[in-house]
Copies of this chain bind each other. A is one copy, B any other.
Amino acid sequence: MATISDVATLAGVSTATVSRALNGKATVDPELSARVVAAAEELGYRPNGPARNLRKQETAVLALIISDVENPFFTAIARGVEDVAHAAGYSLVLCNSDDEPDKEREYVDVALQERVAGVLLSPTGNTDTTELLDRNTTPVVAVDRPLPERTSDTVLLDNRLAAEEATLHLARRGYRRIGCLPGPSGILTADERLAGYRDGLRSAELPGSTTLVRRSRFKAEGARQSARSLLDRPDPPDALLVANNVMAVGVLQTLADLGLRPGRDIGVVAFDDAPWTTLLDPPLTVVAQPAYDMGAVAAQLLLDRLTAPGEPPTTQTLSAKLVVRGSTTR
């Protein structure tokens, strides 16, 4: 592959002039500049990124580390991040941690090594990762979940309030034994949703008990098992609050298996407004998270930090919106 000196030779100038001409930097004689451009074109010259990055000590790349590429919530975040990053001239590297702390750590490590300009992270809570980030000056923005020590910019959703609203909504619709599948313990979003659920029960003056709560990973399979175990009880719940759309698939499959119709037989609210939720009969009542906006805001926060380091970290908390549909109507 052609290098800058090949171009320089062909154009009959020095490499410095090539660099300046191609980057439109200082004033270069138009004629020379034209020769350089022609030579670069002829050779199909692409600047060597690593060399440039090494010299400039900076890259125009952001890394986004999310826990599940197959979850529409996270891909929507990714899209929000990408649109903002792209508009600012940054490329986006998307990494999939699968919610595995080791994989997360590994990807953070790669990102730091490659000297990306900044990292957007939806943390698993791995302390190794935070330690790694603490030792470095690369700017980080936490999305959806905070870093254990709140030292970075953070974009969150008010999960607790959202869960409370959803629970209250179920109570107002007359459901009395409301169950909850909040996701794995230790993950803040899950814990907050559980807390909000309890708030909701309290506000509705319903008895709070732990027997109607089942924790599992944020996966369909875990949700299937949880739902099954709740519904097999002698006193099964008459409504379910489900913590994300992937789990919702598992829950709804289980309900279908058991012949339970959402709404009439059992109230269902799930987090995330996936496109297919309106296709169900009855359509699914959801807590719509502004995922795209979360990504866009996070990216903007990161870009701001790149241009103005040293500012104190901020936390932005966005709100979810309850979208009432048929699955909470008897």
B48 touches A54 (CB 8 A): yes
B136 touches A44 (CB 8 A): yes
Does A94 lie at the interface of the complex (its beta carbon under 8 Å from any beta carbon of B)?
Answer: yes
A95 touches B92 (CB 8 A): yes
Within 8 A of B (CB), among A249-293: 249, 252-253, 256, 274-276, 278-281
CA distance A245 to B276 in the complex (A): 10
Find A279's partner among B91, B136, B276 (CB 8 Å cutoff): B276
Residues of chain B lying within 8 A (CB to CB) of residue A61? 114
Does A205 lie at the interface of the complex (its beta carbon under 8 Å from any beta carbon of B)?
Answer: no
Chain A window 86-103, contacts with chain B (Cβ cutoff 8 Å), 1 for yes, 0 for no: 100001111110000001
Q: Knowing A79-B70, A276-B279 are in contact, say whether A50-B59 is a contact too (CB < 8 A).
A: yes
A137 touches B79 (CB 8 A): no
Chain A window 56-72, contacts with chain B (Cβ cutoff 8 Å), 1 for yes, 0 for no: 00010100000001101
Residues of chain B lying within 8 A (CB to CB) of residue A48? 54, 113, 115
A75 touches B82 (CB 8 A): no
CA distance A44 to B95 in the complex (A): 23
28 pairs of residues in contact across A and B, judged by CB atoms under 8 Å? A1-B136, A1-B137, A47-B113, A49-B110, A49-B113, A49-B114, A50-B50, A50-B53, A50-B54, A51-B54, A69-B69, A69-B75, A69-B78, A69-B82, A69-B94, A70-B79, A75-B75, A78-B96, A79-B96, A86-B103, A91-B107, A91-B110, A93-B93, A94-B94, A94-B95, A249-B279, A253-B278, A256-B278
B91 touches A50 (CB 8 A): no
Q: Least Cβ distance of A56 to chain B in Å?
A: 9
Q: Considering the complex of A and B, which 8 residue pairs feature the smallest CB-CB distances, nearest first? A: A94-B94, A50-B53, A49-B114, A276-B276, A44-B135, A49-B113, A50-B54, A50-B50
